Amino acid sequence: MKAALSQTAVTTCEACWVELVEGVRVTDAGTDLLCQPCVVGNHPRRVDLFPPLGIYGLTERRIEQGRHGSGPPQTPPNPGPALPTPKPTPSPPGTPPV
């Protein structure tokens, strides 16, 4: 079976990320661009560029739990000094900000 590749297709193997693409494996999910050893060894792709949530391996459960399962992000305990009041005047046009 022949697969048509676009000009923007990757040139590095999607399984080992080292060798140049020499073969195409067509699956139900699409095409995998692999080097010859990865095709022969039937190695899986190591990453999907655009999975449903945008980041490889990120699930809805992990989003809800936060980075360490501690819930959504929170503000730091000491946010630092307050902003000056009144706001400083902007620099005149054509000059670098102060």
- pLDDT tens profile 28-77: 877 888 999 998 998 888 766 555 555 555 555 555 555 555 666 677 78
What pLDDT, on the 0 to 100 scale, is given for residue 3?
61
Q: What's the structural domain count of the chain?
A: 1
In a domain, 65, yes or no: yes
Beta strands in the chain, from DSSP E residues, in sequence order: 23-27, 30-34
State residue 36's pLDDT score: 92
Q: Does a structural domain hold residue 42?
A: yes
The answer to the question of residue 79 being in a domain is no
Residue 47 lies in a domain: yes
Range of the domain at 40: 9-72
Question: Per the domain annotation, does 41 fall within a domain?
Answer: yes
If one compares 61 and 1, the residue with the highest pLDDT of the two is: 61
Q: Is residue 1 part of a domain?
A: no
Which of helix, strand or coil describes residue 36? helix
* Residues 5-16, mean pLDDT to the nearest whole number: 81
Per-residue model confidence (pLDDT) at position 47: 66
pLDDT at 92: 87
Residues 53, 60: Cα–Cα separation, whole Å = 8
